[in-house]
Structure 1
Amino acid sequence: MDQNEQIPSGVLLVDKAQDMTSHDVVAIARRSLGIKKIGHCGTLDPMATGLLMLVIGKATKIQDLLMSEDKEYVGSLTLGATTNTQDAKGEIVEERPYDEVSEEGVRETFAKYTGHFEQIPPMVSAIKKDGVPLYKLARKGQEVVREPRPIYVTGYEISRIELPEVDFVVQCSKGFYVRTYAHDIGADLGCGAHLSALRRTRSGKFTLERAITVDQLKNEDRADLVNSFISLAEISLMRGA
């Protein structure tokens, strides 16, 4: 890119595919756009799909602001098995029968996890201890004490119960771990659980409606990708600034 050409700025919404990291998406965007100054808002685990917000150029200045907004996820949990990562990518550490669990029990337990409460973040997470991400310590077999963090759930819906599977939608705060939500619900039900599917559908006022696929990010012309940006002016209007 010509040094004198102004770097385009804005937010690009991407529908992240499964089995790739959020950083993988940033790397693809840097190659496709020829722009180094790109970050993302809110890491999605490799297992998860859905809305990943890329901040490009001057938009990197509002990264923290955009990351602080509420999110919505569609997920599934599977009862009867606990994993070391709290999701389906991990190794099963305990299996327990779930035949005593009732639909009513599932609904009552979900209802407990609303409003403001605290979560202990999972060991396999990007949270840092003395500058080292916890997941790196977890890989070495180390476990450290994690402080409970205040989070909140503003709404949820259970869309399907076919034990051992439960499908749900949850609206939550920044810093909320859906993996831990599934794990804690399973613990309360006495049989354990892990998150078996996850898709982010909203972050603040941004939804998947204007998101492009990873294939489009890889293959579309640079000009078309830039046209997909949400401008800083539009973001100000959306946020009511």
Structure 2
Amino acid sequence: MMSNEIKKSWSGLFLIDKPEGLTSHDVVFKLRKILKEKQIGHTGTLDPMATGLMLCLVGPAVKLLPYMGNENKKYELTLKLGVVTDSWDMTGRVIKELNPESLKLWLKKYSQNRSLVQVMENLIGSLTGELDLPVPMYSAKKVDGKKLYELARSSESDDLETFEGPKKQMRFWDLEILNWDWEQGEIRLSFWCSKGSFVRSWVYELGKKLEIGASLKVLKRLAIDNYLLGSAKSLDVVRETIESSLSNSYLSLFELVKKFENFEIDVTEKNKIENGLLSYAFLNRLSSLCFTSENIMLIHNNRLVAVLQIKPEIRIKRVFKED
């Protein structure tokens, strides 16, 4: 049983390996029970069918959620050829499917002809860079104040375009084809994508270009920016090791802050900033330095004092007062 002292000490980042079948909210709920901590937030929602890395901020560190960076993500995925569902993954209702014999002939033709395989590889490789792709209707994106999935659930149409949401710019890069399974009609690959990009949209677009359709079958998140799945722990492991060693699956608030651009301030500056003031001396000292980030962390004696916006204008975004 954790003591009250230990319960109050959580303030940092947990790297969690989400299992299949849980929503991101389920993960947060279970982590709250394990840590006995109500303040928990996460970056990057994963669908229930997906597995892999989730970043969960705990305690006062939750306040850093808006400053966690670009949140570029790397995924490994398996797609199924010859089938399209209303959700663009294999959990949805099938609305178009190539009959098994036609799919078998199509796969045989490609698998036995290296030049055709090269054509397909080139086509897959062309789906990188900035792309304008439709958002899946089964998503939480809102149009005219209404979530797209609410509109999708009310439709019984078998028209593919019914399930194409509004187009959105997405970016994909470092694509690698990992395996062709010609027997099952599946392709396994990996790529990086920008924040707000939909993997299901990419799979749907590939299916359209191949003219036989495709749906997402398996999805695993491998990385979020510089955080890697290899450093994450399952909820069960966190529960078992909570009173011993969590190694690199947990970063304290200060360890997390050190991953941002930061600036050491003196006690006089600290006192002014905690009261919402920026002195001319501080601004002059700051102007002599070059930062690449929009926000920097102000620290004093190994403690986070504030988040300071420096682009496009300098202003205090959030103050972290001592307990």
- TM-score between both structures, scaled by the size of structure 2: 0.68
1:115 aligns with 2:115: no
RMSD in angstroms over aligned alpha carbons?
2.5
Match of 1:232 among 212, 231, 253: 253
Match of 2:191 among 165, 170, 174: 170
Cα 1:205–1:148 shift into 2, 3 Å: same
Match of 1:18 among 17, 20, 35: 20
Cα 1:106–1:61 shift into 2, 3 Å: farther
Aligned position for 1:141 = 155
* Structure 1 letter corresponding to 2:84: T
Deviation at residue 213 of structure 1 after TM alignment: 0.7
Q: Can you list the C-alpha shifts for 1:126-173, whole angstroms capped at 9, x where unaligned?
A: 212344432233223286873321121121100112231111011110
How many residue pairs align between the two structures? 240
* Structure 2 letter corresponding to 1:68: N
Deviation at residue 67 of structure 1 after TM alignment: 6.2
Note if contact 1:42-1:67 (Cα within 8 Å) is conserved in structure 2.
no
Match of 1:126 among 134, 140, 144: 140
Whole-angstrom distance in 2 between the partners of 1:140 and 1:11: 39
Match of 1:209 among 225, 230, 244: 230
Q: SS of 1:15's equivalent?
A: strand
Note if contact 2:136-2:163 (Cα within 8 Å) is conserved in structure 1.
no
Match of 1:30 among 29, 32, 39: 32
Deviation at residue 107 of structure 1 after TM alignment: 0.8
Aligned position for 1:186 = 207
1:44 aligns with 2:65: no
| Aligned-residue identity in percent | 33
- TM-score between both structures, scaled by the size of structure 1: 0.89
Whole-angstrom distance in 2 between the partners of 1:84 and 1:220: 40
Deviation at residue 236 of structure 1 after TM alignment: 3.0
Deviation at residue 2 of structure 1 after TM alignment: 4.8
* Structure 2 letter corresponding to 1:105: V
1:157 aligns with 2:159: no
Larger radius of gyration: 2
* Structure 2 letter corresponding to 1:236: V
Cα 1:10–1:111 shift into 2, 3 Å: same
Gapped runs of 5+ residues in structure 2?
A: 111-115, 157-161, 263-323
* Structure 2 letter corresponding to 1:125: S
Aligned position for 2:243 = 223
